[in-house]
């Protein structure tokens, strides 16, 4: 199954929950800013990640999981440490 890039951003108000969210996200992707990660996720992994995040965060916290299409990846403007955003080749299914 194809993995697509997602940005995951969070604002967590409790230090213990903040550390738990960051630790969880390290298992799914790479930190690109203090509270922003990039993750290559299948639909199943995305659902799993969102479920696990829901187990950690509180109502006062916020989480965004933003899918990025292949075209979007090519238009990212980034300054500072350069990290490649590879785009997978298009997958075809022969029926």
pLDDT confidence band for 8 (50 / 70 / 90):
very high
Task: Supply the mean pLDDT for the chain.
Answer: 86
Strands of the sheet with 29-33, listed across from one edge: 29-33, 36-41, 4-11, 62-67
Dist. CA 27–CA 95, nearest whole Å: 35
Kindly tell me if the per-residue pLDDT of 70 is higher than 50: yes
pLDDT for 90 equals 47
Dist. CA 70–CA 72, nearest whole Å: 5
| Least confident among 46-50, 67-71, 77-81 | 77-81
Kindly tell me if the per-residue pLDDT of 92 is higher than 50: no
Tokens of 8: 């995951």
CA distance from start to end of the chain: 16
For 19-47, what is each residue's pLDDT tens digit? 999 999 999 999 988 999 999 999 999 99
pTM for the model stands at: 0.81
Q: How many CA atoms does the CB half-sphere of 46 hold within 13 Å? A: 19
Give the chain's domains with CATH numbers.
Answer: 4-73 (3.30.70.240)
């Amino acid at each position: 199954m194809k993995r697509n890039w997602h940005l995951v951003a969070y604002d967590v108000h409790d230090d213990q929950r903040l550390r738990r969210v960051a630790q969880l996200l390290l298992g799914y992707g790479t930190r690109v800013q203090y509270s922003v990660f990039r993750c290559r996720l299948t639909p199943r992994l995305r659902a799993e990640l969102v479920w696990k995040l829901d187990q950690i965060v509180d109502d006062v916290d916020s989480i965004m999981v933003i899918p990025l299409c292949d075209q979007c990846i090519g238009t990212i403007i980034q300054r500072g440490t350069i990290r490649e955003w590879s785009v997978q080749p298009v997958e075809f299914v022969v029926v």
